[in-house]
Amino acid sequence: MHINLVLKTLGLVLLFEAAAMVPSLFVGLFFHESNPQPFLISITAAGLVGLGLYLVPIKNKNVGYREGFAIATFGWLLLAIFGAIPFVLSGALPSYVDALFETMSGFTTTGSSVLTNIEILPKSVLFWRSMTHWLGGMGIIVLTLALIPSLNIGGMQMFKAEVPGPTKSKVLPRVAQTSRQLYKVYVIITVTQIILLKLAGLSWFDAAIHSFGTVATGGFSNYNASVGHFQSVSVEIIIIFFMIISGMNFSLHYYAMRGNLAPLWKDRESKLYLGVIVVSIALIIIDLMNNMDYAATKALREASFQVTSIITTTGFATADFEKWPPLSKFILLILMFFGGCAGSTGGGLKAGRILILFKSVSCQLTRLIHPQAVLRVRIGRDVVNHEVVESVYNFFTLYILIFAAGALILTGLGLDLISAASASITALGNVGPGLNLVGPMSNFSGVPDLGKLTLTLLMLIGRLEIYTVLVVFSVRFWR
């Protein structure tokens, strides 16, 4: 493995992070905050270390699979390590473990928080907190590829290691072109939502914060009551719409913006994703009306928002679903596993993998009835390669095992079973809120430090789709 190339690219990532902190510094100056030092020191630290790494001489500029995996894994770790500095220096989170948890939650677009009173924090810190979402949404490494093609660290290796989902379709032949086009879509969607939220009555600051959290499917809000603070149907409808499209494959949005809607309508994964949303909303509406005497309009409003927020792994809240009946909470728990579509900013298992699993099980049942039949897993007219099916099975198995290991550690640290299990899956799936101790109107401050570090690792593993992280910790990887 070309260590110097990895170090040089990591330096570039840190330089981008230093540049990304500058807007937060200006936000603090705009709102006349008295102490700019947290961001000045953080920008300087990330910039100097980044520059030092970037100046490392390299001979080979071609990124292989090993380099790609190392850059992705250690890149996210460095982003969280340096991104936590403003939280500590500003006093928002004096504990570095808490700050690391909050920052990793931001960059992985998880949205879990240890903050107990968000509204007292400086606006510069709140802006940086949400900026970590927006940067992590499509991936800081893909951004690096998009803006610095001259470094020639292209190839699909880093794109495969970074972009979430079981399959990655290249929109354009070169990954740098692909990255730029996807980021154009990302920026257009973000700006559109900011404008619509502003027209709905939010301030520019609130609109930006909640747009960053929506498009990145992250869920950080600058209010303790999350989106419920606004008590606005129009705001909720706008956020629901953008959560849904952000949970879909961004390649489809690229084609749609170019006037080609056919891929959007024909995509089987999107159909499954949207179908699960509709069915889940309907079931929860019936449950709320029957067991909590909700009016139909209130049930529709709360169910629609929370189902969309959970399945897209955004994590915004307008209601305390911890108080909902067991059936509704169980549906939301299942949706935490399900997640968005491949190629989206969402987390979870991904609808595409679920679809392949169901198709594979269907084939297996048919083989039991017709042992001589030659059957292949098909998604529409396309035959799914056997290696892909096998990798989906392996991924699913690993996902469940890692979830169980996380829950086991948390129960060993004293959390009750529901809190531990929901905290583990919400971290691994990059969802945000869990149940009981870590419910939508609570936070993760009560989790012991070892538990927070465990959840921080689960966030990273989930964001980079398990294999990217596990392979780096393999002995054979370094031989």
Structure tokens at 223: 């209010």
Q: Is 218 labelled as part of a ligand binding site?
A: yes
Residue 117 labeled ligand binder: no
Amino acid occupying residue 30: F
> Is-contact 420 438, C-beta < 8 A?
no
431 is in an annotated binding site: yes
Question: Can you state the angle between helices 449-463 and 65-83, rounded to 10 degrees?
Answer: 140
Q: Which of 117, 128, 107 is nearest to 27 (CA)?
A: 128
451 closest CA partner among 217, 112, 70 = 112
Decide: residue 110, CB within 10 A, 0-12 exposed, 13-18 middle, 19+ buried.
buried
Q: State the Cα–Cα distance between residues 84 and 82, nearest whole angstrom.
A: 5
End-to-end CA distance of the chain: 9
For residues 69 and 477, give the distance between their C-alpha atoms in angstroms, rounded to a whole number: 10
CA distance 20 to 246: 22
Q: What are phi and psi of 172, to 5 degrees?
A: -130, 160
22 known member of a binding site: no
Judge whether 198 and 420 are in contact, CB under 8 Å.
Answer: no
In whole angstroms, give the CA distance from residue 166 to residue 415: 33
Find out whether 312 is annotated in a ligand binding site. no
DSSP state of 168: -
426 known member of a binding site: no
The answer to the question of whether 290 is labelled as a binding residue is no
Binding-site annotation, residues for K(+)? 109-110, 218, 313-314, 430-431
Binding-site annotation, residues? 109-110, 218, 313-314, 430-431
